[in-house]
Chain A
Amino acid sequence: MRFLLTLLLLPLLAHAEPATLVRASELKAQPATDAATLAQLAADAAVDASERSGGWVRVKTQAGAEGWVKMLALRYGGSGAAKRGDSGISQAINVARTGASGTQVTTGVRGLDEADIKTARPNPVELKKLEGYAESKPSSASFADSGKLKAQRVEYPK
């Protein structure tokens, strides 16, 4: 029965991800600096993070409080052990570790690992294709327009 309940609840929990605060933060009622502060959260506090709004992410604390914290204060994945596993490429391309350096030598399947780049030969056919996909300035500008993207002046940091 409990198993069934868990299954039913799973979709509701799917969007929350375990995350950790890297600095002490205020839990805000709204995604804004001038919003009411609901709680003071300590550095290293574990939370469940859901959607983002601007520079803010909605979180639920372990005490059950819900609110918003600054996005850059969060690191996802919880503790190292809780992180998701390998995406499966290692099995596919036969990774062998050499020596204490942990340098990876891959064999068999092509891709973009160190050895693939070191042994690569020029591919002028693909280069030609690449050039064929290039866009002009005006066509990219109308593409930006259709996405309501507006160019503006922003200075580089000093």
Chain B
Amino acid sequence: MKLLVLFFFIGSAHAQFNLDRLNINKLIDTTKNVVKATSDIAEPEEIQIGKDMASRLLGAAPLARDENLQRYVNRVGRWLASQTERPDLPWQFGVMEAPQVNAFAVPGGTIFVTRGLVERMKSEAELAGVLAHEISHVLRKHHLKAIQKGAQTQLAGDALNQALKNQRADVRDKLVSFGAEMYTRGLDKSDELEADRYGVVIAARAGYDSYGLPAVLQTLQAMNAQDSALALMFKTHPAPGERLTALGDTMQKTLDAYASQPQLAERFFQTVKK
């Protein structure tokens, strides 16, 4: 009789396993100690890992010594971020003192743009287009997801979880290093193209000429692709021409609907000394 009950039990459990895939996944997760999906990485943890990564990037290039410029970029960036679905992150924006042409989005709401890129812009709308592209990476958690995916293969078992919660200094360091090195490898092309599309929308929401981002891409496209100032940016992003074509294919309607909004070239040149 006891045996029969046991059989019944096993039988029903087996049926449940086959029918309920969610339960199986749960079981695998538990046994492997795999960290939960990105959507489950709490915002405070995202913000903290972002700060550690931002500190690392600032170790490569410091902030430009120009308080007016820094405040100006923060005003533009904060206004753009306020139009998104994550308006209350601790958004902060910085111009890095580097001749290279590049921009970086760090999880949790930190955005960097190099002086080399700012000096090639012609209006506030162009700056807004670039910042909106970077804001979109944070919004869509592109880097956070890439870190998590990559770190799982590097950090065994529960180490990633501990690193995220900052419970072990050695694995935390590894995780931050991995996160910073991601900026030398780049995201998936689809993430970059998505950030272009979202960036156009966010700039338009904030009231800017929607052609700011395409205008910057055209400037980059016109530069010599062998220019060493572009090396890392070109390695980690699709070619500007390809990005322009993709925007034309998907965003022409939105671009044209908001093309006559302010560009604010004068305000830009008042602040950005060449």
A143 touching B75 by the CB < 8 A rule? yes
User: Quick check: is A5 within 8 A (CB to CB) of the other chain?
Assistant: no
> Dominant SS at the B interface?
helix
How far apart are B183's CB and chain A's nearest CB, in angstroms?
A: 6
User: Quick check: is A133 within 8 A (CB to CB) of the other chain?
Assistant: yes
B59, B244, B254: the one contacting A75 at CB < 8 Å is B244
B residues 180-239 near A (Cβ < 8 Å) are: 180-181, 183-184, 197-198, 201, 204-209, 211, 214-215, 218-219, 221-229, 231-232, 235
A residues 101-158 near B (Cβ < 8 Å) are: 104, 110-114, 116-124, 126-127, 129-131, 133-137, 139-141, 143-144, 147-157
What's the Cα separation between A56 and B82 when bound, in Å?
Answer: 29
A110 touching B60 by the CB < 8 A rule? yes
Interface size on A, residues (CB 8 A): 64
Chain A residue at minimal CB-CB distance from B252: A72
B206 touching A120 by the CB < 8 A rule? no
What's the Cα separation between A73 and B241 when bound, in Å?
Answer: 10
What's the Cα separation between A55 and B100 when bound, in Å?
Answer: 28
What's the Cα separation between A111 and B206 when bound, in Å?
Answer: 32
B102, B197, B207, B262: the one contacting A151 at CB < 8 Å is B207
B181 touching A117 by the CB < 8 A rule? yes
Top 9 A-B residue pairs of the complex, sorted by shortest distance between their CB atoms: A149-B207, A76-B222, A54-B259, A140-B78, A120-B59, A90-B228, A126-B58, A120-B60, A77-B222
Q: Can you report 19 residue pairs joining A to B where beta carbons are below 8 Å apart? A: A22-B245, A54-B260, A73-B248, A77-B222, A80-B225, A83-B225, A112-B98, A112-B100, A116-B61, A123-B55, A123-B62, A129-B63, A130-B92, A133-B71, A133-B93, A143-B79, A147-B262, A147-B267, A154-B254
Residues of A within 8 A of B (CB): 17, 22, 52, 54-55, 71-77, 80, 83-87, 89-90, 92-93, 95, 104, 110-114, 116-124, 126-127, 129-131, 133-137, 139-141, 143-144, 147-157
Beyond contacts A80-B225, A121-B56: 15 other A-B pairs, Cβ-Cβ < 8 A, are A22-B245, A54-B209, A55-B255, A72-B244, A75-B221, A112-B114, A112-B232, A113-B232, A117-B180, A120-B56, A122-B56, A122-B176, A123-B56, A123-B59, A126-B63
